[in-house]
Chains A and B, each alone.
Chain A
Amino acid sequence: MNMASQTISINRKVITPLLLLPVWYIIYHFLKPATDWLIDDVFGMTAGSHLTEALRFFIFEVPKVLLLLTLIIFLVGIVRSYFSPEKTRKALEGKSLFTGNVLASLLGIVTPFCSCSAIPLFLGFVEAGIPIGVTFSFLIASPMINEVAIVLLFSMFGWKTAVIYVVSGLVIAIIAGWVIGRLNLRHWVQDWVYQSQFGNADTEGEKLKFTDRIQDGYNAVKEIVGKVWLYVVLGIAVGAGAHGYVPEDFMASLMGKSAWYSVPLSVIIGVPLYSNAAGIIPIVSVLIEKGASLGTALAFMMAVIGLSFPEMIILKKVLKLPFILTFAGIMAVGIMLVGFLFNLIM
């Protein structure tokens, strides 16, 4: 490629998203009136009937959630390109226990990490002398505070619920990691972990140009939105169906505030279920609409997203069974406390 054509392609990569942004905003802004126009004027349906309202909900929510998802995932992709497991490890080296837990939980949100990399990451952290408790804060926060979940909570319940979710996830990751650190479970780590010497991973990251980072944003959209859009559509379809047809207080007796046992029950049901955030949140929104309390629904969601059997099976390679059970126990208790707390204050 010669210099001129290179400059053009760079400009195009930066300018395209800038041009798309106002288009995005216009679509987002006129989505509500456009939906109403389509339902009331074009289809000429009777406002207020079950079918009309279910359809209105579906036609409005699907593009809204997908628009928000695309924008946020694009930005998250760019932000994440500034972080890497190596840099995170460097940042955590030599941090004292509590500070380390806080920092690890925060970095868990932004560091690109997939659960199949849990083992190399765990070993890399151990190798650098990062305490196990701090490592766990990272391993808990990373799946628990999920960007797709944030977008869905924001678009279905508003920013307050999204903030509550992020803060609770952080608090659980910090405290659970700290407790695991204090319990000193080193003897329940598989013996070979401390026997092997792998040498330090190089901390040198790839040098990226800003256009590469924008490309990372596109890739993240392609990968994540490409994977979850179907769940979003299905989840909203279920939500739309329940919207009009399931009685309002259907879940109130089972998952309402007055039923104290609902929180532990939700966690017990939620842990073995393994679903991605995109599938679970539209369901949670139905639960809440039908009388479940926010704390209970939040506990259910966190148990489903934050604790997964596949991840525990992966961790079995480096941790002995009692460690994994302790970990799951601490997480379950933490999630329940969050559930009780929000049932109490909301």
Chain B
Amino acid sequence: MEIKVLGTGCPKCKSLEKLTREVVEKNGIQATITKVEDITEIMKYHIMATPALVVNGKVEIKGRVPSAAEIKEVLSKY
């Protein structure tokens, strides 16, 4: 599974990245996690608020930092 965390480097974006890594590690999920900081790259996902969580190219969460439980639920769909 390919996970991308979109964000220009604000505190919320960093906490989403950290949280996602924790969830992936804790649940032994096979995934690569990349942080996308380039704004033109970010805009390709058609979002208007950061941070965002993208799984296999699909925007799952945008504009907020979800709970660990919610991230786990989102990832379990894949």
Contact = CB atoms under 8 A, between A and B. Distances in A.
A200 B46 contact: yes
A303 B46 CA distance: 33
10 contacts: A112-B49, A114-B10, A114-B12, A117-B10, A117-B49, A120-B39, A121-B49, A124-B48, A196-B40, A317-B39
A114, A117, A123: residue with the most chain B Cβ atoms closer than 10 Å? A117
Nearest to A115: B10
B39 A119 contact: yes
A202 interface: yes
B50 A120 contact: yes
Contacts of A113: 49
Interface of A: 84-86, 89, 112-114, 116-117, 119-121, 123-124, 192, 196, 198-202, 314, 317
Interface in B1-48: 7-13, 39-40, 42-44, 46-48
A188 B42 CA distance: 23
A86 B64 CA distance: 14
B38 to A, nearest CB: 11
Nearest to B59: A202
| Range class of the B interface residue count | 10 to 19
Contacts of A201: 46-48
A297 B11 CA distance: 31
A20 B10 CA distance: 34
B58 to A, nearest CB: 11
Contacts of B63: 84-85, 112, 117
Nearest to A121: B48
Given A84-B63, A85-B63, A112-B63, A117 B40 contact: no
Contacts of B42: 120
Nearest to B61: A206
A120 B64 CA distance: 14
A120 B12 contact: no
A249 to B, nearest CB: 42
Contacts of A200: 46
B7, B44, B46, B50: residue with the most chain A Cβ atoms closer than 10 Å? B46
